[in-house]
Amino acid sequence: MKDRVILHADCNGFFASVEQVFRPELCDLPMAVCGDPENRHGIILAKNEKAKVYGIQTAETVWQAKRKCPDLVLVPPHMDEYRRFSRRINAIYADYTDMVEPFSIDESWLDVTGSQQLFGDGKTIADTIRRRVREEIGVTVSIGVSFNKIFAKLGSDYKKPDATTVFLREDVEEQIWPLPVTDLLFVGRSAAATLERARIRTIGDLAQADRELLVKLLGKMGDTLCDYARGLDDSPVAKIGEEREVKSVGNGMTFRRDLVTEDDIRLGLHGLCDSVAQRLRRSGLRGWTVQVTIKDANLKSITRQTTLPHATDLSAEIWQTAVELTLANRPAAIRMLTVTVSGLTDEQGGEQVSLFDEDELPDLDRQRRLEHTLDTLRDRYGWSAVRPGATIKNDIGVDDEAPKGATGEP
Ligand SMILES: [Mg+2]
């Protein structure tokens, strides 16, 4: 069978680039977008090319950044603008294929296998898209072209800004295998440390490692990463609109021991709500309804749900609601909990500000900024980089691996 042609398009310094469209004078100054410019512990979310020269890094604090570059211009984030730009950029992608799958606000996969007769080969389409996004939107994009999603993503990271990198099947051993294993999608800090102990340092080391050893080291993720390194990922690029058909986002867990105390329940729900919220944000969705399924020690389960005064994608709100529902319906011992958010809407539609309590709004804004910051940190350092102190040592099995869990049950 002929190889697929997959593109991964990644906007360069996206938040900073959008700010520069509105304030072109910022192009000539070192500038960074950060969570809370007034707070020296605020975190850098994005930086422009001029700031990069000073070694400013995403996810460091304002204080660290200012030490490197005292004249750094700090700009607060404008998430609604970023979402608007993201939609416009994805609309350009959609001119070349009906298979466009956003991965985050500034990254999407495109399957252009069937588009080549009309628009040229993968590299030609990538170059055309880069030019159009630069000219029509004012943002530069790096694009990886390969035969699967994982290597396409690797390609968009390989050369930037404003570049196209092609990895063909015959390039894998020579070009991909020498790259550090941490370049591979989903190899976070803790997985990298585990692999380092087994002296697996490059993608080639990973590809040649024994699959059973990897499973022993990393569990199911070891199996997945083995496929990734060997070029065996065959996951499809979703069709446009497929995500909109997602009816709910949920995650469940059977605990290592039964949950008995209120603290157990809070802790058990925390990671679940966190992962559900992050997946909602990734998909640009918010939900009106929070549902909890509680399975007791005799495996009898009940489901309870409540509808919020507004649609949310915030971990803190989902958690608070899930804790209340669980405590109100709590058996003596809980074996398993599942948290599901449904009644999904895309963020624009969900934003019914009039429903917010006036006093509540700034808090929600602050919480939203905080949680977006967490997303940025986790994208960069892995899921375990940020987690509540309480989960660091626990005996119920809430651990530091990136959450999996089912999406989109009908
Ligand atoms: Mg980017």
CATH value at residue 210: 1.10.150.20
- Residues 150, 202: one domain? no
3-state secondary structure of 141: strand
Note whether residue 408 is domain-resident.
Answer: no
Other Cβ atoms less than 10 A from the Cβ of 368: the count is: 18
Note whether residue 407 is domain-resident.
Answer: no
- Residues 170, 195: one domain? no
Query: Shortest CA distance to 322 belongs to which of 249, 278, 268?
Result: 268
Question: With 80 as the cut, is the pLDDT of residue 161 above it?
Answer: yes
- Residues 306, 336: one domain? yes
Note whether residue 118 is domain-resident.
Answer: yes
- Residues 279, 224: one domain? no
Q: Is the pTM of this model over 0.85?
A: no
- Residues 183, 172: one domain? no
Q: Which helix (H) or strand (E) holds 85?
A: helix 79-93
- Residues 43, 105: one domain? yes
Tally of CA atoms within 13 A in the half-sphere of 280 that contains its CB: 36
* Cis peptide upstream of residue 161 (ω within 30 degrees of 0): yes
pLDDT at 360: 46
The last residue of one of the domains, among 176, 195, 211, is 176
In angstroms, the CA 57 to CA 64 distance is: 9
- Residues 184, 300: one domain? no
- Residues 42, 59: one domain? yes
Note whether residue 404 is domain-resident.
Answer: no
Number of domains in the chain: 3
Given a contact cutoff of 8 angstroms between Cβ atoms, the answer to whether 339 and 250 are in contact is yes
Annotation says 107 is catalytic: yes
CATH value at residue 137: 3.30.70.270
- Residues 13, 94: one domain? yes
Note whether residue 234 is domain-resident.
Answer: no
pLDDT higher for 382 or 347? 382
pLDDT at 391: 57
Ligand 1 centroid vs 34 CA: distance in angstroms? 15
Ligand 1 centroid vs 367 CA: distance in angstroms? 23
In angstroms, the CA 309 to CA 353 distance is: 10
pLDDT band at 389 (very low <50, low <70, confident <90, very high): low
pLDDT at 384: 59
Q: Which residues of 71-103 are buried (b: 16+ CB within 10 A; e: fewer)?
A: ebbbbebeeeebeebbeebbebbeebbebbbbb
pLDDT at 349: 40
The last residue of one of the domains, among 203, 229, 255, is 229
pLDDT higher for 98 or 370? 98
Give pairs for 383-386: CB < 8 Å, separation 24+.
Answer: 383/188, 384/188, 384/189, 384/190, 385/188, 385/189
Identified catalytic residue from 19, 101, 107, 243: 107
- Residues 299, 182: one domain? no
Other Cβ atoms less than 10 A from the Cβ of 212: the count is: 11
CB proximity list for 62: less than 8 A, separation 6 or greater: 34, 36, 37, 39, 40, 41, 42, 43, 44, 74
pLDDT at 38: 76
The distance from CA 30 to its chain's CA centroid, rounded to whole angstroms, is 26
Ligand 1 centroid vs 351 CA: distance in angstroms? 25
Ligand 1 centroid vs 328 CA: distance in angstroms? 43
Other Cβ atoms less than 10 A from the Cβ of 182: the count is: 16
- Residues 384, 282: one domain? yes
Note whether residue 267 is domain-resident.
Answer: yes
Ligand 1 centroid vs 242 CA: distance in angstroms? 23
Range of the domain at 159: 1-176
Give pairs for 344-347: CB < 8 Å, separation 24+.
Answer: 344/246, 344/247, 344/248, 344/249, 344/280, 344/285, 344/286, 344/287, 344/288, 344/311, 345/285, 345/286, 345/287, 345/288, 345/311, 346/244, 346/284, 346/285, 346/286, 347/83, 347/284, 347/285, 347/286, 347/313
Note whether residue 374 is domain-resident.
Answer: yes
Question: With 50 as the cut, is the pLDDT of residue 407 above it?
Answer: no
Note whether residue 298 is domain-resident.
Answer: yes
- Residues 30, 146: one domain? yes
Q: What is the mean pLDDT of residues 329-334?
A: 93
